[in-house]
Amino acid sequence: RGDDVSTLTALRDIGFSTRMIDRFFRPLLGGIQLDVHLTASRRMADVILRCLAVGDSVVPALGMQALPDQLAARLAPGTVQLSSPVAAVAPGAVHLADGRVARAPCVVVATEGPAAAQLLREHHVAAPASRKVSCVWFAAAAPPVSQKLIVLDGTLVGPALNVAVMSNVSPHYAPTGQALIAAACPAADGDPAQLPDAVRAQLRTWWGAQVDQWRVLRTDSIEHGQPDSQPPFAPKRRVSLGDGLFVCGDHRDTPSIQGALFSGRRTAEAVLASLAAMPA
């Protein structure tokens, strides 16, 4: 409702102090939206805060791969073809890079925003602006905190904006006697190879010398971590492009896993309606 403004402007208009914004909202919302400067839409921030207030924040107990595995488990064997790059899509056809063509009455492009825009440029699907993110993963003999929570960088020293012990949430995320720690760095620039040392130095000021014993598992640097949601932000973009072509992803709804799932549901319902309307 009302005019959309940046999250920072909205928080200031509500009356939150600079201290409250910098020590809480910036590391919390900045970490979720990959937006340390809080320039993203206040509408998206409202959605996030409401979800945190009235719902549960969860991850799949067996990891994110459990989501596609669950979807694929209900399909006939051989339905899903991996390692099959797509060169182009058209009404009723998917042209693979190796020259094969898969035909179907409905074609759904379910990719991240930049890839969808490349495949559907003739159908006026624009590429969203991207927010990048890096994450340093550590293995430790013991967790630095025992609770299931996100530890925020209220000082904004960085490079990590928030840290979570994922194995506290799900023991399946780490072997017995080990802890899996994720340090999210939405605003990190520079050489990714130097990021683990910078994060370790930062976290040493939080938890002391135990951090020196942590083992770096890997560093993920993702250029398109999330679609941007600058104001004015309008979710629920169209998923049906006509002629049996459909598009879904977090770039059609809210930039989040929840948005991707909700977009997939909207698209599935649109596909079913399209198939039902086709002549027998």
Report the predicted TM-score, pTM, of the whole model to 2 decimal places. 0.88
Domain co-membership, 240 together with 160: no
The predicted model gives 179-187 an average pLDDT of 94
Residue 189, pLDDT > 80, answer no
What are the pLDDT digits (tens) for 212-229?
999 999 999 999 999 998
**What is the percentage of the chain residues whose pLDDT exceeds 90?**
79
The predicted model gives 5-21 an average pLDDT of 96
* Cα distance between residue 216 and residue 197, in whole Å: 9
Domain span including residue 215: 131-227
The predicted model gives 229-239 an average pLDDT of 88
Determine, yes or no, domain membership for 215.
yes
**Structure tokens given for 217:** 């598992």
| Domain count across the chain | 3
Confidence category of residue 72, pLDDT binned at 50, 70, 90: very high
DSSP code string of 217-276: EEEEEEEEEEE--PSSP--S---EEETTEEEESGGGS-SSHHHHHHHHHHHHHHHHHHHH
Residue 34, pLDDT > 80, answer yes
Residue 1, pLDDT > 80, answer no
- Among 29, 42, 33, which residue's Cα sits nearest to residue 233? 42
Query: What's the Cα-to-Cα distance from 214 to each of 15, 129, 143, 149, 199, rounded to whole Å?
Result: 41, 35, 10, 19, 11
Q: Is the dihedral of CA 232, 185, 164, 63 positive or negative?
A: positive
**Structure tokens given for 264:** 């997939």
- For position 190, what pLDDT does the model report? 76
What are the pLDDT digits (tens) for 115-131?
999 999 989 898 888 89
- Local structure of 101: helix, strand or coil: strand
* Cα distance between residue 136 and residue 200, in whole Å: 9
The predicted model gives 169-190 an average pLDDT of 90
Residue 9, pLDDT > 90, answer yes
What are the pLDDT digits (tens) for 249-276?
999 999 988 899 999 999 999 999 999 9
Domain co-membership, 159 together with 215: yes
Domain co-membership, 121 together with 256: yes
Determine, yes or no, domain membership for 272.
yes
**For residue 27, cis peptide bond before it (omega within 30 degrees of 0):** no
Determine, yes or no, domain membership for 77.
no
